[in-house]
């Protein structure tokens, strides 16, 4: 009898860095930088040549975003007001790179939860906002570290990398090109965040997640059926990072100032206004395609960028104000971790769900990009 492969989620994994920065410490360090900058540039500021910098505030951060703290790979470098970036010593080519290291940790967690031996995995997709280098692919390094015989490649769809990775993996399963695919999302967002930019210095944290997508025929008990996936991209300059290999040809890399375009920079207000309706409409349309209504949705694991965005999207999808149980947030502890956010929300908030419960993993961000993955617990 011929076998029709059916992609499911077998397990997820999570790696959380040991160090954490609370809003109070972050703002204290930012304000120390502001005082230093304004003191050192007092004459130029008085002459109107450069602008005086303004302090940040914990109250603003919590009200505007819902972010309470973030985990990071190097706290000391970030909080040093004269440095304001993580310090990570460069490793030799013989050592596992730091991005691969955290990806491998999350992947091992997912494999252990699925009871899966790495030798049985066919492919690794490293799906994240930032790759440590151009090549060899991070996915191939992770594949090698795990001892996987197969293939791997990197993909970057910014904050939507994980959901785009899940659909890609699901398509490989459907096509019969693989039976078991690891999607790994190592996000060292502290490396691309401009810690000197008052408008965004509080947004991101570091983490790694992994998702094991497999053919139902080999999946462990308690896996998640994938009811349907949908991806969408719409070009926008409102979230942008111009760091790239042609920076040198264009005349250098300036990462010093508060608004460097070679780091993450956004028009936050515009993003908020444009992305909320785009994502809400996309989810509602996909629910109609799948024959689902708001009352069928047990839980939403939304992208973790902004608590107020999630409140509006969840309200539209469910038809009522969402409780924390219906739309859990990890922003209070993890901050925005780009592509990993909705996967952390899923990973930490699904143990109480029972067979037949339906939920949605949904991401959105730069591109613009958005992805939905509707799942049902078995």
Note the residues at the interface with ligand COA (CB under 6 A).
56-57, 60-61, 64-65, 159, 198-199, 203, 239, 266, 268-269, 271-272, 305-306, 309, 336, 365
Q: What does the alpha-carbon distance between residue 274 and residue 181 come to, in Å, rounded to a whole number? A: 33
Tell the smallest beta-carbon distance from residue 365 to ligand COA (Å): 4
Output the smallest distance, CB 48 to ligand COA, in A.
Answer: 20
How far apart are the C-alpha atoms of 193 and 132, rounded to whole Å?
15
Provide the pairing of β-strand 7-15 with 224-233.
Answer: antiparallel
The residue among 91 and 273 lying less far from ligand COA, judged by its C-beta, is 273
Peptide bond preceding 368: is omega within 30 degrees of 0, i.e. cis?
yes
Half-sphere exposure of 176 (CA within 13 A, CB side): 3
Q: Where are the alpha helices (DSSP H) in 194-321?
A: 247-250, 268-290, 307-318
Structure tokens at 95: 């050592």
| CA–CA gap between residue 319 and residue 124 (Å, rounded) | 38
CB of 306 to ligand COA, least distance (A): 4
Q: Please, which residue, 151 or 272, has the CB nearer to ligand COA?
A: 272
Smallest gap from Cβ 274 to ligand COA, in A, equals: 10
User: Which CB atom, from 227 or from 343, has the smaller least distance to ligand COA?
Assistant: 343
Q: Indicate if 126 belongs to the active site.
A: no
The single residue listed with the structure tokens 């993580």 is: 86
The DSSP letter of residue 96 is P
User: Smallest distance, Å, CB 46 to ligand COA?
Assistant: 22
**Coil, strand or helix at 174:** helix
User: Measured from the CB of residue 261, what is the shortest distance to ligand COA in angstroms?
Assistant: 16
150-171-15 Cα angle (round to 5): 65
The candidate with the shortest Cα–Cα distance to 225, out of 18, 374, 22, is 374
Helix ranges (H only) for 66-210 are 75-79, 98-114, 138-146, 161-175
| CB nearer to ligand COA: pick between 87 and 269 | 269
| Residues sharing a CB contact under 8 Å with residue 279, sequence separation 6 or more, in sequence order | 313, 362, 364, 370
- Nearest residue by C-beta to ligand COA? 268
Determine the Cα–Cα distance for residues 279 and 316; give it in Å rounded to an integer: 10
Q: Name the catalytic one among 126, 159, 189, 362.
A: 159
Taking the least distance from each CB to ligand COA, the nearer of 201 and 223 is 201
Q: Is the Cβ of residue 66 or residue 152 nearer to ligand COA in the bound state?
A: 66
Contact yes or no for 104/145 (Cβ under 8 A): yes
Active site residues: 159
């Amino acid at each position: 009898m011929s076998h029709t492969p059916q992609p499911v989620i077998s397990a997820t994994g999570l790696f959380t860095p040991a160090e954490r920065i609370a809003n109070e410490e972050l703002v204290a360090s930012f304000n120390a930088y502001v005082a230093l900058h304004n003191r050192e540039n007092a004459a130029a500021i008085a002459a109107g040549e450069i602008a005086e910098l303004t302090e940040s505030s914990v109250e603003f951060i919590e009200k505007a975003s819902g972010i309470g703290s973030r985990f990071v790979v190097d706290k000391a470098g970030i909080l040093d007001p004269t440095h304001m970036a993580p310090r990570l010593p460069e490793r030799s080519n013989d050592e596992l790179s730091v991005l691969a290291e955290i990806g491998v940790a999350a992947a091992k967690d997912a494999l252990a939860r699925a009871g899966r031996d790495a030798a049985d995995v066919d492919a690794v997709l490293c799906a994240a906002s930032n790759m440590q280098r151009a090549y060899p692919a991070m996915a191939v390094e992770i594949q090698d570290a795990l001892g996987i015989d197969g293939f791997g490649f990197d993909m970057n769809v910014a904050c939507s990398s994980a959901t785009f990775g899940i659909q890609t993996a699901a398509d490989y399963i459907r096509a019969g090109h693989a039976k078991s695919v690891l999607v790994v999302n190592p996000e060292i967002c502290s490396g691309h965040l401009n810690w000197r930019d008052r408008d965004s210095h509080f947004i991101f944290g570091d983490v790694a997640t992994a998702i094991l997508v497999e053919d139902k025929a080999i999946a462990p008990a308690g896996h998640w059926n994938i009811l349907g996936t949908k991806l969408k991209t719409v070009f926008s300059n409102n979230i942008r990072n111009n760091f790239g290999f042609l920076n040198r040809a264009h005349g250098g890399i300036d990462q010093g100032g508060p608004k460097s375009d070679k780091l993450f920079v956004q028009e936050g207000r515009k993003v908020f206004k444009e992305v909320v309706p785009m994502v809400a409409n996309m989810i509602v349309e996909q629910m109609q395609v799948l024959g689902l209504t708001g009352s069928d949705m047990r839980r939403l694991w939304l992208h973790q960028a902004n608590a107020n965005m999630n409140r509006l999207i969840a309200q539209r999808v469910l038809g009522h104000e969402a409780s924390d149980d219906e739309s859990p947030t990890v922003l209070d502890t993890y901050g925005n971790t780009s592509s990993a956010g909705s996967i952390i929300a899923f990973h930490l908030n699904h143990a109480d769900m029972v067979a037949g419960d339906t939920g949605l993993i949904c991401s959105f961000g730069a591109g613009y990009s958005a992805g939905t993955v509707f799942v049902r617990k078995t």
